[in-house]
Amino acid sequence: MVTKLYNSTKDNGIIRHFDSGATRDTTVDKLDFEGFISPIVLESFAEYMHSNRKQSDGSLRASDNWQKGIPQDVYMKSMWRHFFAVWQGHRKQLPKEERIRDLNALLFNVQGLEHEVLKDEA
């Protein structure tokens, strides 16, 4: 279980009533995954991750292989390399496909490092 780092969800005592007769608490102060996360970015990231599943020996690694654990310093070094590539792509105005690839590589490392940090807290 992950330690909550931010405000925990609290109901405000107001009930929503729908025409169907269903009721629910309000959405005030509740995590809004639908609003916070971009589906086109997630799809692009999944495509990037899938395209990198094939290893140099030809075998296909499981999609969740990274969750077995990668040292934090490995993520950090890779993150810096990919951040540099993102920065260069921004300055040089590289083609969209290259910039998206570099952004997804950076996102993988940011997400992986945060996964390790959060896992260490559990």
Per-residue pLDDT reduced to its tens digit, 94-105:
999 999 999 999
Query: Do 26 and 12 contact (CB within 8 A), yes or no?
Result: yes
Closest CA to 44 of 4, 94, 103: 103
Per-residue pLDDT reduced to its tens digit, 61-92:
999 999 999 999 999 999 999 999 999 999 99
With residue 25 as reference, give the H or E element that holds it. strand 23-25
Pairing relation of β-strands 23-25 and 15-17? antiparallel
Cα distances (angstroms) measured from residue 100 to each of 33, 40, 115: 22, 12, 22
pLDDT(11) > 70:
no
pLDDT(7) > 80:
no
The backbone region for 7, taken as left when phi is positive above 0, alpha when psi lies in -120 to 50, beta otherwise, is: beta
Cα distances (angstroms) measured from residue 48 to each of 10, 37, 39, 109: 37, 17, 14, 13
pTM for the whole structure = 0.81
Distance between CA atoms of residues 57 and 70, nearest Å: 20
Cα distances (angstroms) measured from residue 96 to each of 92, 102, 109, 113: 11, 10, 20, 26
